[in-house]
Structure formats: C-alpha cells, structure tokens
Amino acid sequence: MAGEGSCGKTVDAGARLARSGIWAEAWAQIDAPDGMVNIAYEGLDRHVLHGHGSELALIWLGKDGVRVEYSFADLAAQTSRFAGVLTDYGLKEGDSVFSLMGRIPELYITALGTLKAGLVFTPLFSAFGPEPIRTRMEIGNARVLVTTEALYKRKIEPLRASLPSLELVLITGNEAPEGCTALGPALAAASPDIAVANTTPETPALIHFTSGTTGKPKGAVHVHQAVVYHAYSGRKALDLTPGTIYWCTADPGWVTGTSYGIIAPLVNRATMIVVEAEFDLERWYETIQREKVEVWYTAPTAIRMMMRAGAKAAMPYDFSSLRFMASVGEPLNPEAVIWSEKVFGQPFHDNWWQTETGGIMIANRPGMTVKPGSMGKPLPGVEASIVDNEASNLREAGENEIGELALRPGWPSMMRSYIHEQARYDKCFADGWYLSGDLAMRDADGYFWFVGRADDLIKSSGHLIGPFEVESALIEHPAIAEAGVIGIPDETAGEVVKAYVTLNPDFAPSDTLERDIRGHARKKLGAAVAPREIIFRKSLPKTRSGKIMRRLLKARELGLPEGDISTLETDES
Amino acid sequence: MTEEEIRRAYIEELTEVAPDISPDEIGNEAHIQDDLDLDSMDILNFVTALHERLGIDIPEPDYPRIATLGKAIRYLGQRLA
C-alpha cells in the first residue's frame, strides 16, 4: 500500500505490535475457511453452517406497508441463485456489476450475490440523474446493471448506446423491456446451492464512487478483507451483537448504506431493518417503536428534521428499546446531541469516516463520554493525527491546532486504489499518512473536532458533492458560459449547493432562465446534487490560468476574509 | 380559497422548487417523492413556499398529507376553511 513504508519513523514498535494484536482479534471474528475471505460468505453462509440459518437477517418495510422477513438461510439461498445467474452468463472475477434501485430486497440480494460470485459490486444512488449514472458506469466498466423497469426507462434507456461495456441489464420482477432480462425468472431457474467464489483477502469486492474537486468522480476500490473491519467496527463503534435489531437509515448508494447498512450488521449476525420510503417523521418513530429497534445509525440532516418537528411530536412513542444511537455524514451540531438526550434519553454518538476508509475511524463509542460537537476518538487500532502538510515537511500539529486529519494506513478496509487513477490515489498519501482532505483539531483529551473541508468539496445532507461535476452539467445549458459552484451553510442540510454563472451573448438574466437552468441541472444530476440557487454574474473571479476561484466566491458569500488573492487575475462583477 | 386556486398554488410552488417537473406531470395521484423525485430538502422548501403563499403552517407530521396533489387539495382545503 502506498505510503506505508515510512510508518516506522514516528510510531514506536510497541504501538504497532498492539495494533497487530487488535487486527488478529478482529480476524478471529470471521471464519475465513482455508484462507478464503468472502464478504457474502461471512455475512450469510457461515451463519447458516453454524446453525443460525433460521435467525432473521433482514426485515423489509415496503412503502405500501408490506413487511417481509428474510432469515439468514433465505438470503443465503437467494444470493446463491443470483450468483448463479451471473456465472451462468459467463462473468468472471473482476467483472463489474452495478445496481440502480431504491431500498428493495433485490438490492441486498444483488449486492451479496455479486460478492458471492467473486465479482465487483457498485451501488448507484437511485436519485442520481442520468449524468452521474453514465459517468460512474463508464469509469467502472459496468458489464451488468440491475435495476427496476421504471428506473431503466427513465434513466438508462436514453443513454444505453453510450455505455458499450454494458451487456446484461437485469430488471427486477417477472417482465423486462427489450434488450433486458427479467430477474425473477432468472433467479427461479438458477440453483440455490452454488459454491461461494474462492476470493482471497485482496480480491476486489466493491467500488464506491466519491467526488473530486476537479475531474471525474473517483472509484475507490475495496477488497474482501474489508469485512474484517466491518465486523470489528460494527461491534466496537455500533455495539452490534448477534440478534441486535439494527436500523441504518442510509441508502446503499452511499458507502454508509453498504458498509453499515449491509455488511457490518450481517457479519455480526444482527437483524437489519430496511425501510424503503424516504424520511417521514411518523413512519420513522413508529418503526423504532414497532420493530423495537435497539441500535440506530442515521444522519444529521434527518436528526435536524426531527428537531424541527419538535420534542412534542416524539412524545407519543415508546423509544425504550433503543440502546445505542449514532450519526454520520457530516458533523453533528452540539444542539442536536443535547436535543436527542432530552427526547430519546440518550445522545446520538457522532462518528467520522470516508468512502476511502471503508469503515468508521473515529467515533464516540458506546460507553464513552460524549463531547457534543466532537466526532470522538480513533477506534483502537486506528492511528489518527492532525498534520500540517503546507510546509515543505509534513509535521504533526499540536493540541487544539487546526490541520488536516490524517490516518496511518494499515486497517483492513482501507481503499486499495482509485480505479484507473493511480496519480490521484498517490496524492492522498504523504510521509506514511493518508490525508483525508478534512480539516480538524484534537483537544487535550484526544477528542477530534471537525473544522471544514481542506478543498472545495460540498457536504449536503451527508453526501459529498464535487463542484466540478455540477459545473460541467451547468455549462451544457445553452445560456451558460461559465459556472462556479460552492456550498453554503444550511441549518438542515449542513450545506446546500449554490451556483454562480455567467451567460453567453444573447442571453439575459431572468427568473424564467434561472428556473430553466435549475430544471436542466436537476434533470442531468438529480435533486440531491443539483444547485438549489443560481446567481447571475457578468464575470467570475479567476486565476491567471483561468481557474474559477470558488474559495473567493465562498468567502464573499459568507462575508469572510478573502485570504490570499495574489493569484486573482480577473475579478467578478 | 377554491379547489382550483389550491391546485394552482400547489403546482406553481412545486414547479418553482423543482423546475424539472412539468405541470402536466403533476396528476392527483403523483407522489412528490416516489414519482416526482423530490428529496427531503425540496420538501422543506416546498412546505416553506406553501406557507408563504397560503399562510398555513404545515407541521412535519402532516407532510404525508401533501404528498400528492389529491391529498393536498383535501388537507389544505380543510386547513383554509
């Protein structure tokens, strides 16, 4: 792994030995028969082999009120059938399977069946517009896509011709449009007893896309031994134990919804609650009460929506089943921690990690004193620090000093590469540290506090949005000459996307044009990524090399000091 | 306020928040999340816009009651009565 070579410089041998002991203990949480490490085997089949097949793996709550239970044996059989469909088609190790669907049972069967077959799984967020979908499928060389008929017709069919690598499109249900295969009959025809692919610890398993400040999204590659860290961190940071009723509200289209919405609970033999519908206050409170949810993992935007509804809306419900609550996606504000203590009788425990880290790195763990507003402390085995990488030599920052949050590589779920992007991967490491791109500080008690992004990436409702991807979609609008996109603070979403644009000759600013541009961006990108506001400018602030200075747009928007503007060539007007 | 006025307010404010939706897509049964792809931030903005236009405060637990045009006409009609 890049950057690991110089680890010995500042870490003493004792600490390294302790860490290797921790990982040995984590490895003991999985079976790994004859050296095979397979996420689906560890999450499903081994529980069946050990006599737990009849225990509940998944309780699915559909939009229309349907409730369906799946035991570990049910999911083991269904995922074997799915793996059979893929291998019968002739797919081989390394081939890429994408999914585009909401939180329906087929999504979970696709994810685990793909892993069981030894292929690489990439989930796409079903609310993405066609553009983010096309880019990600192209970079990931998608050979297979599993989706619903409705999503296929709306988002895939129009761009299918531009996806030459895509051979097999499986449609959930019993019927499929032309050029596609119906998944229902294919599963029914496949054997439920296929052998699990003999994957090694380093066999690629998952690609999760994450945004970059410039250029295309990056596909972070994760391997099968990540399951060791999911088992370990699920236990340590979320208190997942066999039989725990656990609800992770995240969509598997984002890394949390896969690492902790599929893998960590299954490998820990917990029972996952999956709610198909989006946030709906009463449905959420009812779900906790009715299903007796014990561990709940959600996100600040949802928590702040509950706060908006007020403590009174929560009063009719019985939350006594809850024993641990955690939050991730963006920093949880202290008010939300204090509010949750009042309403649920316990605080939400904030934690921190990224697509690249594959699992929770820093957390307010069960039993720890929560400092409201802090992300907590590194999990045992994880070495985190605050570094100053601006000077010629990287140095570790002192207490309460702001710097970049950095981690020593070596935990099992670290990304192994960005697909086809070695240079961008290498840039993530310096002096034996993985550089997160997040600014933070560490207090005297060892708690970490998030400060902001070191780059221009936008965090909205827990989703990381790359301004470049938004700008690229905007300038495809005939009226737009240039676009600069920033995140502005928002009470509920953390940040929302705002765009500054200049117009081509023959176009003049108007409310109609503003709406037309927003509509265009939403169609291309989807609601979660598109800007909520468009501002017209005659020109945008640019460097001598012609790069739009987003940092300056943001400082002005927020009334902050403009900082170093020596590279500014043309100012905005 | 007549049913027609409520219908117009709903459609105009919805397409203002989400200009990718054309008014003729908004049938009585079209669900704003499931069919029209609004996300939770859109819904907050939509509720705020309805509040400003109609002067009705719509509490969070009532959001499902404006999830389709048909439901909203009944709910807003009652609230405005």
The helix/strand/coil state of A291 is helix
Last residue of a domain, one of A386, A417, A442: A442
Distance of CA A294 to the CA centre of its chain: 23
Percent of chain A with pLDDT over 70: 98
Closest chain B residue to the Cα of A493, Cα to Cα? B41
Identify the domain containing residue A21 by its residue range.
4-365+374-442
Establish if A447 belongs to a structural domain. Answer: no
Residue of chain B with shortest Cα separation from A520: B20
Buried b (16+ CB within 10 A) or exposed e, A46-63: bbbeeebbebbbbbbbeb
How many beta-carbon pairs below 8 A join chains A and B?
64
Which residues span the domain enclosing B16? 3-80
pLDDT band at A15 (very low <50, low <70, confident <90, very high): confident
A10 pLDDT more than 70? no
Asked if residue A255 is part of any domain, the answer here is: yes
pLDDT of residue A542: 85
Residues A494, A548, single domain; the answer is: yes
pLDDT per position as a tens digit, A519-528: 999 999 999 9
Q: What is the pLDDT of residues A474-491, one digit of tens each?
A: 999 999 999 999 999 999
Query: Which chain B residues have a beta carbon less than 8 Å from that of A516?
Result: 19
pLDDT cut 90: percent of chain A above it: 82
ipTM: 0.94
Alpha helix segments (H runs only) across A362-456: 422-426
What tens digit of pLDDT does each residue of A195-234 get?
Answer: 999 999 999 999 999 987 777 899 999 999 999 999 999 9
Q: Domain for residue A448, yes or no? A: no
With CB atoms and an 8 Å threshold, state whether B40 touches A519: no
% of chain B at pLDDT higher than 70: 100
Determine whether the interchain pair A519/B63 forms a contact, defined as Cβ–Cβ distance below 8 Å.
no
Binning pLDDT at 50, 70 and 90, where does residue A570 land?
Answer: confident
Chain A environment of B63 (Cβ under 8 Å): 280-281
Say whether A522 and B59 touch across the interface (CB within 8 A): no
Do A435 and A464 lie in one domain? The reply is no
- Asked if the structure places residue A453 within a domain, the reply is no
Same domain, A385 and A463: no
Give percent of chain B with pLDDT exceeding 90: 88
Residue A195: partners with Cβ closer than 8 Å, 6 or more residues away: none
* Together in a domain, A405 and A259: yes
Check pLDDT > 70 for residue A5: no
pLDDT score recorded for residue A12: 63
Confidence of residue A453 (pLDDT cuts 50, 70, 90): confident
Question: Given an 8 Å threshold on Cβ–Cβ distance, is B60 in contact with A313?
Answer: yes
pLDDT (0 to 100) of residue A545 = 72
- Confidence bin at A573 (pLDDT 50/70/90): confident
- Residue contact A461–B63, C-beta within 8 A: no
Domains contained in chain A, number: 2
A538 lies in the same domain as A400: no
Residue A496 and residue A460 in contact, taking contact as beta carbons nearer than 8 Å: yes
A225/chain B closest Cα distance in angstroms = 35
* A519 at B interface, C-beta within 8 A: yes
Alpha carbons within 13 angstroms on the beta-carbon side of residue A330 total 26
Confidence at residue A568, expressed as pLDDT on a 0 to 100 scale: 76
The pLDDT score that the predictor gives to residue B36 is 92
Which residue has 């089949």 as its token pair? Answer: A45
Identify whether A452 is part of a domain. Answer: no
- A300's CB contacts (< 8 A; 6+ apart) are A327, A329, A330, A331, A332, A333, A336, A462, A494
Residue B1 Cα, gap to closest chain A Cα (Å): 27
Q: Return the higher-pLDDT residue of A331 and A380.
A: A380
pLDDT band at A563 (very low <50, low <70, confident <90, very high): confident
Min distance B41 CA to chain A CA atoms (Å): 7
Q: What is the structure's pLDDT at A248?
A: 98
Of A67-71, A214-218, A238-242, A373-377, the least confident: A214-218
Verify that A489 and A429 share a domain, yes or no. no
Predicted confidence at residue A389, as pLDDT, reads 85
Per-residue DSSP letter, A252: T
The domain boundary residue, chosen from A442, A466, A494: A442
What pLDDT sits at residue A314? 95
Band (A11; pLDDT cuts 50, 70, 90): low
Cα of A241 vs its chain's centroid, Å: 23
CATH code: domain of residue A545: 3.30.300.30
* Average pLDDT of the residues in A14-24: 81
- Contact residues for A211 (Cβ-Cβ < 8 A; gap 6+): A217, A218, A457, A464, A465, A466, A468, A469
Q: Out of A20-24, A481-485, A498-502, B8-12, which region has the weakest mean confidence (pLDDT)?
A: A20-24
CATH code of residue B45: 1.10.1200.10
Mean pLDDT computed over every residue of chain A: 93
Count of domains forming chain B? 1
pTM: 0.89
Tokens representing A367 are 């039993």
